[in-house]
Amino acid sequence: MENEFKDFKAGYVAIVGEPNVGKSTLLNTLLQHKISIVTPKPQTTRHKIIGIMTGENYQIVFLDTPGLIKPRYLLQEVMMRYAESALNDADIILFMVDVKKVKTNEAVTKTLPFEILKRYADQKPIILVINKVDLVNKLEVLPIIDFFSKVFPFKEIVPISALKGQNIDELKKVLLQYLPNHPPFYPPDMVTEHPERFFVAEIIREKIFQIFRQEIPYSTTVSIVEFREAKEEGERDYIRAEIYVEKESQKGIIIGKDGQMLKKVGTLAREEIEWFLGRPVYLDLYVKARKKWRDSKAWLKRLGYTVD
């Protein structure tokens, strides 16, 4: 077994950064498979999403993480623990910034993301990924690269466009350069370790983020309470999902007049779930109000978050 993998490289790569810099888009682009939900709103990712890329002589296990923020409630504290866990587990850290929003002054080095990165600077390679370079002139990127090369010991700085796929091959080469020699952690055909139920819930949540504004999506979570696969050809899988909000007024907004908004969520979610699973489904959605579930240990545990 050792000889079989003596030239094999495998390791964990944590993708971290502030909210909405394109971490989930990068993961999906790298894997050429959508496993992490993407919306224009910040702080969409709540879990540590695992994506697995396997090549002929390598396996990279990517950890997509929630955006680094100062928590305001228990759910956000849990999300930051997920991010810290990914940083601890990682062999390589990819730190992402948005080229359109990043500031090139000393104050940047005192922000929360940099304070967190400093803890790992001497422990593992940290690579800076400057995302969304398709939105600016190439000459605008050069001073950003120059600045960051002087203020932090990044092993490499790689400008990319996760959405357009620009320079992704170069980023892969850089990762393989720093990946340790190790046998694969997962079977070669595995793309993620999360079950189908997890992705179904995430797809429903993504549609809520896309349709509703302001605080509604952030006050919402989704629980799959029944997932029954079809037993005979021509039948549909049956999926029952409960959407939780914090207030009765939010429940009314998601349901909408005559149930029209909930129907819209269901239609969009069902279409993508069917594409994801590769088979027809019957999606049954219910909306329930649970006061302050984001600050409740009991409810967070019930909803699948690791609180302790």
Q: Residue 134: pLDDT above 80? A: yes
Residues in Cβ contact with 87 at an 8 Å cutoff, skipping those fewer than 6 apart = 14, 16, 65, 93, 116, 119, 120
Q: Residue 54: pLDDT above 90? A: yes
How many folded domains does the chain comprise? 2
16 is in an annotated binding site: no
With respect to residue 1, please indicate whether it lies within any of the assigned structural domains.
Answer: no
135 is in an annotated binding site: no
14 & 163 share domain:
yes
68 is in an annotated binding site: yes
21 is in an annotated binding site: yes
What number of other Cβ atoms are within 10 A of residue 230's Cβ?
Answer: 14
137 is in an annotated binding site: no
pLDDT in tens, 140-183: 999 999 999 999 999 999 999 999 999 999 999 999 999 999 99
With respect to residue 189, please indicate whether it lies within any of the assigned structural domains.
Answer: no
Distance (Å, rounded) from C-alpha 173 to C-alpha 169?
6
22 & 154 share domain:
yes
102 & 165 share domain:
yes
Q: Give the pLDDT band of residue 254 (cuts 50, 70, 90).
A: very high
54 & 162 share domain:
yes
Q: Are strands 9-17 and 58-64 parallel, antiparallel or unpaired?
A: parallel
Q: Residue 190: pLDDT above 80? A: yes
Residues in Cβ contact with 142 at an 8 Å cutoff, skipping those fewer than 6 apart = none
Q: Residue 41: pLDDT above 90? A: no
What CATH number is attached to the domain comprising 172?
Answer: 3.40.50.300
pLDDT of residue 69: 76
Across the chain, what does the average pLDDT equal? 88
Give the range of the structural domain holding residue 272, as residue numbers without chain letter.
196-302
Instruction: Report helix, strand or coil for 217.
Output: helix
Instruction: Report helix, strand or coil for 263.
Output: helix
64 is in an annotated binding site: yes
78 & 16 share domain:
yes
With respect to residue 285, please indicate whether it lies within any of the assigned structural domains.
Answer: yes
Which of the residue ranges 10-19, 52-61, 68-77, 222-231 would you say has the lowest mean pLDDT?
Answer: 68-77
With respect to residue 191, please indicate whether it lies within any of the assigned structural domains.
Answer: no
pLDDT of residue 2: 52
44 & 169 share domain:
yes
297 is in an annotated binding site: no
195 is in an annotated binding site: no
With respect to residue 252, please indicate whether it lies within any of the assigned structural domains.
Answer: yes
This model's pTM is above 0.75: yes
Helix axes 23-31, 168-178, angle to 10 degrees: 90
